[in-house]
Amino acid sequence: MNASLPIADGGERQLSSPAKLDSAVPAAHRMRHSALVRVTHWITTVAFLALLVTGGEIVLSHPRFYWGETGNVNMRPWLNLHLPSSRDTVPTGYGFVLPDQNGWSRYLHFQAAWLAVGTGLFYVLFGVFSGHFQRNLFPAASDLSIRKLGGSLVRYLRFEWPGKEEAWSYNTLQRLTYLFVIFVLFPLMIWTGLAMSFGFTAEFPLAVRLLGGQQTARSLHFLVTILLVLFLLVHVLMVFVAGFRNRMRAMISGTMISGKMISGKMITGRATPPTE
Amino acid sequence: MSKISRRKLITTGLAVAAGASGIAVAAKAAQHYGLIPPDAGGLYGPGETLTYAAQRLLGRHSTAREFSRSEISKNPFANEVDPLGDEFKRLQTAGFVDWRVTVDGMAARPASFSLAEIRSFPASSQITMIGCEEGWTYIAEWAGVPLSYILDRVGALPQVRYVVYRSIQPDWWESIDMADALHPQTLLAHGMNGNELPVPFGGPVRMRVPRQLGYKNVKYITRLTLTDNLKPFGKGRGGANPDSGYAWYAGI
């Protein structure tokens, strides 16, 4: 079946060079993300949003941050968020106290953390064995020159978005960003989170000592959260820029339609061979 | 849409079946080894059970970090409590001479100890951090009698699994498992930073469980009950905080 391929939007289909197509994979509906990537992506999304909401809720019970081991309302914070608090022991300047939501917030925070950590371990293990990292995330050594990266960055800053042919593979900047989030920011979140647990640090005191103390761990947990939220915002923005429907399709069903997308309507044309 | 092959279906089916039976076996074993917290039911039970079981498996006997004298907080924060009742004020006016801690439940020799007796028991001291679930912390030197000494003295029966402890304040109680109850750092604390424990910090006697958060460190202790079952206490979740929606285990 390569003469009559199903096309999602029923548009006019022209295959410019059918010879380039491999086997039975429809030119217009090609695999972009493996099931492993898609499933772990959405589980992580759910867990991350739960962690973000509950984490914010927990911060409201003491919206101040300190360095070192100790910190409380009798001490000077390095950061006071000046938000209303869910405790009347924190002087906020607001004339009201928010309702206490820490019970379920803490329950859900740790449950979502387990989900995220479990999914992350699964992803990393299978990513290594399936060659996902090798194929899709580790940049080629030749792409790591300052000139090339700088050029890529400048194009982003000039809002010259990557062309359609780049949709089938991550460019080097994307690869480095995803690697940074997966192998630096997520592990830092887990580490700084566990470093706040008295049960955990009783067994592994170095986990908190290396960071510089209980309150430093809490501050870093908050700062890395900000980096992750920035990543999330840019990530979602780029999905919109690159074509929301096609990218969502790629991360849900796994396939992406090759062709140009004009105001939400698919016009299939050139079948771009996957670059992976 | 790709077709799901028969082989894939069979492998997935087998994996799910193996996973389900694995979980069933693990749950049985966990129950046997005391790795299921009293609030294991409900929406957040899975995460809570994983946390409690993981920490008990990782370090049943590990000790909370201890600090040097120079790290003791100069301005410790005494979290607020509900207004102290008339009974407390009467005892306080008399210098707490009539303060008693009753120990009952599954004990060979249930007893009631006066504050003077508790202060005369062999004391242990530690410089540890107390941290609230809200996020704030301070470090202090705590002195008191190890809870294990009390349990030994009243002849705790071998089947005891939890110690329930109550404050003189209405509806303020918590419970801990034996890993914490017999832990050398768990104290019935009556001293702080070289002085008698001040009232705002829980004096004359508070529970000190340094491997868990502040809310397990109940102030103004008057009663300990040794039990093998938390169901009959409150809503059966093992404490006033758990009854109001907080986790029973506060090691995280």
Instruction: Give the CATH number, domain containing residue B149.
Output: 3.90.420.10
pLDDT value at residue A168? 81
pLDDT at B89 over 90: yes
Mutation for A interface: B60, B137, B186, most A CBs within 10 A: B137
* Contact across the interface for B132 and A58, Cβ inside 8 Å: no
Does some domain include residue B46? no
Residue A82: CB atoms within 10 Å: 10
Domain membership of residue B140 (yes or no) is yes
What are the residues whose beta carbons fall under 8 Å from the beta carbon of A78, sequence distance 6 or more?
A65, A66, A67, A219
Determine, for residues B139 and A69 on separate chains, whether the beta-carbon distance falls below 8 Å. Answer: yes
With CB atoms and an 8 Å threshold, state whether A200 touches B65.
Answer: no
Task: Classify residue B45: in a domain, yes or no.
Answer: no
Q: Is residue B37 part of a domain?
A: no
Q: Which residues contact B200 (CB under 8 A, 6 or more apart)?
A: B78, B81
With cut-offs at 50, 70 and 90, classify the pLDDT of residue A153: confident
Q: Number of folded domains in chain B?
A: 1
Pairwise CA distance, residues B116 & B119, whole Å: 5
**Which residues 118-177 of A are in CB contact (within 8 Å) with B?**
none
B250 part of a folded domain: no
Which residues of chain B lie closer than 8 angstroms to A106, CB-CB? 133, 246-247
Q: What is the mean pLDDT of residues A58-86?
A: 97
What are residue A199's DSSP bridge partners? Answer: none
CB contact under 8 A, B58 and A200: yes
Transcribe B38-53 into DSSP letters. TT-SSTTHHHHHHHHH
CATH T-level fold of A25-46+110-268 = Fumarate Reductase Cytochrome B subunit (1.20.950)
The answer to whether A108 contacts B44, with C-beta atoms less than 8 Å apart, is: yes
Q: How far is A263 from chain B (nearest CA, A)?
A: 25
Provide the pLDDT for residue A256: 84
- Pairing of the two strands A30-31 and A255-256: antiparallel
**Structure letter (DSSP) for residue B198:** P
If one compares A250 and B32, the residue with the highest pLDDT of the two is A250
For residue B103, what are the domain limits?
Answer: 65-243
A210 in reach of chain B (CB within 8 A): no
pLDDT digits (tens, 9 = 90+) for B138-182: 999 999 999 999 999 999 999 999 999 999 999 999 999 999 999
The beta-carbon neighbor of A102 closest among B76, B133, B212 is B133
Test A114 with B48 for CB contact under 8 angstroms: no
Report if residue B249 sits inside a domain.
Answer: no
Hey, what are A251's tokens?
Answer: 């991360």
CA distance A132 to chain B (A): 20
Beta bridge partners of B129: B139
At A259 the pLDDT is: 54
Residue A116: closest CA among chain B residues belongs to which residue?
Answer: B47
pTM beyond cutoff 0.95: no
Q: Per the domain annotation, does B238 fall within a domain?
A: yes
Q: With bands split at pLDDT 50, 70 and 90, how would you rate the model's confidence at B2?
A: low
Closest residue to B47, CB basis, from A89, A107, A198: A107
State CA B224 to chain mean position distance: 12
Spell out the domain ranges in chain A: 25-46+110-268
- Range picked from A139-148, A156-165, A237-246, B128-137 for highest mean pLDDT: B128-137
pLDDT, tens digit, for every residue of A221-236? 999 999 999 999 999 9
What average pLDDT is seen over chain B?
Answer: 95
